Every structure is written in structure tokens, then in C-alpha cells.
Structure 1
Amino acid sequence: MGNTVTWLLIADASKARLYSMHKARFLLDKHSKNLNLIGQFTHDASRMKGIDLVSDRMGTFGNGSFEETTLPKVHEAEQFALELLGHLKSARVENSYRDIIIVAPPSFMGLLHKHMPHEVDKLVVKRIEKDYTQYNGEELAQNLINHL
């Protein structure tokens, strides 16, 4: 029998938790004991104020036109998205999961989608544009069940 593990990524621009679960068991029992925390990630630079992240340099001039630099907070969020996606890509190569559910606020979901490798993207079975990073245990399980 093949891999039946579903991974669940709950993330925002500064923190993420990664769970494994057997979706059928979770849907049947609807209990947080069926969510196994396998990783926690933080990106402290995403929590900093924009002013603390920048130098005095503005945009740059290239080819006779002004090119605005990426906003520092967006840049840090992108770096965190790339870090998370790198982990998912490595785990996919190791066959650690069959499919994945991603839960993130719309702005961070957009960054994840923008940089998601094709081989990971085809394993995403559900995208939920919500911020569940503050939920643990039963709260998380109860909110997830409404979307699965």
C-alpha cells in the first residue's frame, strides 16, 4: 500500500507549524490527537518593523528607468515562504507525504503559490486562506473540519 500521510502546513509570514495526519482518520474522529506536530518554524525578521529592516538606500536606476525595490517586510515573507517550500520539496523527494493541505492568510498564500515548485504544487489537495496560526489542539481541529 502507498503512502497515506497527509501533511498540513499552518503558516503566516513569521511562523509555521507542520503536522502529519491520516485524513480519513481525522475526518472520522475529528480530534486533535490525529494531528501529529512534526515541525515548527519561525522567521523573526518578518516580525520586525519595516524601518528596522531597511538601509537608507531607495530603489535603483537601471536602463534609464527607476526600479523600486521590494518592500522589506514582503522580502522577508518571501524568504520565509522559500524556506518552507524548500522543506516541503525535500520531504516530497523522500516520499514523506502523499498530499498536503496548506492554510495561510491570503497574502502569504499568494507568496507560497508564487514560489511553489511544480512537483509540490501538484500534491496540494486543499488551500485554505485563513490565519489559523494562533490555534492549537481542539480549536485547530474544529476549524479545519469546516474546510475538509
Structure 2
Amino acid sequence: MPHPAFPKTWILVADAAQANAWAASGRDGPLTAVPEFGLKAEDTHGFSRDLKSDRPGRSFSSSDSRRSAMQPPHDPHDEAKARFTALVAKRLAVACREHRFSRLIVVAPPRMLGILRKDYNEELGRCIAGEIDKDLTKATPAEILDHVRSFLHAT
């Protein structure tokens, strides 16, 4: 059963740098911020080059004396996003397990949604009531409510 102090539906509004949860009390609102769920990532909106050294390393070819740039096998920018989305999914899974919500609506840009889906555990996956592939991190609660209203139950 949901915790009595919290409504049954949460709305996660996230992008690669921040995630906030809102509790919905019905189709007509209001939305209430879930204060302990305001998450911020390290600066993942900077360029990947800002997350690593200025220039790639150099190596010598084993067959001659030419040197060429070594490319890293991974993008630090993508790794930072993946770490952040894993943290968001983990915190949601804990809140779900603690019955803080029974339904979850996820609002995030398409790429973020795809990364998040990979991190959902089975229990959290069953709580997903809807997804909206849009960046609403700068939207007001009223604007968020307008976008998610069709997923909310009348109360």
C-alpha cells in the first residue's frame, strides 16, 4: 500500500543532468514536488572534451616510426549520463519498493528514456503507467500536468 503521506502517482521529469519527481493528486492537480528526489548530475551538458584531457594520447606504430592519435574506447560524456540514469532508476526502485508510489509517469527526452528503460528493475517496470518523450525539466508544474493529464486517474 502507498505511504499515506504520498499520493499513488509520481511523475519523474528528467534529462541527462537533473531529475525531479512530482506527486500527483489527480487529473486536476496540483502537483507537489517530492523534495528528497531532486537529483543533479555532474556537469554532463559540457562537451566530452571537457571531461577528459585536452588532447588524445599518441602512440607509435609497431611497423614504422609514425605516430598517431589514440582514441579512447568510450565517451566520458556518455558514461556520465549512464551513471546518472542508473542512480535515478535505483532511487525510483527504492521508492517503489517502499510503496511511495504505485504508478509512475516518466517524462524525459527520447535518448534519456531509452537509457532509463535499461535500468528499470522488474518491480519498477510494472509501476510505469506512461512515458512522454519530451524535455520538460524547465516546465512549470501546471505545464507538466497538462502533458501528463491523460495518464492520471480522476479523483
TM-score, length-normalised on structure 1? 0.78
- Contact 2:10–2:103 (Cα < 8 Å) also in 1: yes
Alpha-carbon distance between aligned partners in 2 of 1:133 and 1:101, rounded to the nearest angstrom: 14
1:1-148 correspondence runs (5 A): 2-3=1-2, 5-22=8-25, 26-27=26-27, 29=28, 31=29, 34-38=30-34, 39-55=37-53, 56=56, 69-145=73-149
- Contact 1:11–1:133 (Cα < 8 Å) also in 2: yes
Q: 1:115-143: per-residue Cα shift (whole Å, max 9, x none)? A: 21111111111011111111012222223
Highest Rg: 1 or 2? 2
Structure 1 segments unaligned to the other structure (5+ residues): 59-66
Residue 40 of structure 1 aligns with an amino acid whose one-letter code is G
Is the helix fraction higher in 1 or 2? 1
Alpha-carbon distance between aligned partners in 1 of 2:149 and 2:20, rounded to the nearest angstrom: 17
TM-score, length-normalised on structure 2? 0.75
- Report how far residue 52 of structure 1 moved: 1.2
- Contact 2:92–2:124 (Cα < 8 Å) also in 1: yes
The number of aligned residues is 132
Aligned residues: percent identity?
Answer: 24
Alpha-carbon distance between aligned partners in 2 of 1:111 and 1:47, rounded to the nearest angstrom: 16
Instruction: Provide the secondary structure at the position in 1 that maps to 2:11.
Output: strand
How much is the aligned-residue C-alpha RMSD, in angstroms? Answer: 2.2
Q: 1:48-72: per-residue Cα shift (whole Å, max 9, x none)? A: 22101124469xxxxxxxx972322
Residue 14 of structure 1 aligns with an amino acid whose one-letter code is A
Structure 2 segments unaligned to the other structure (5+ residues): 59-70
| Farther-moved stretch of structure 1 (136-145 vs 74-83) | 136-145
- Contact 2:105–2:151 (Cα < 8 Å) also in 1: no
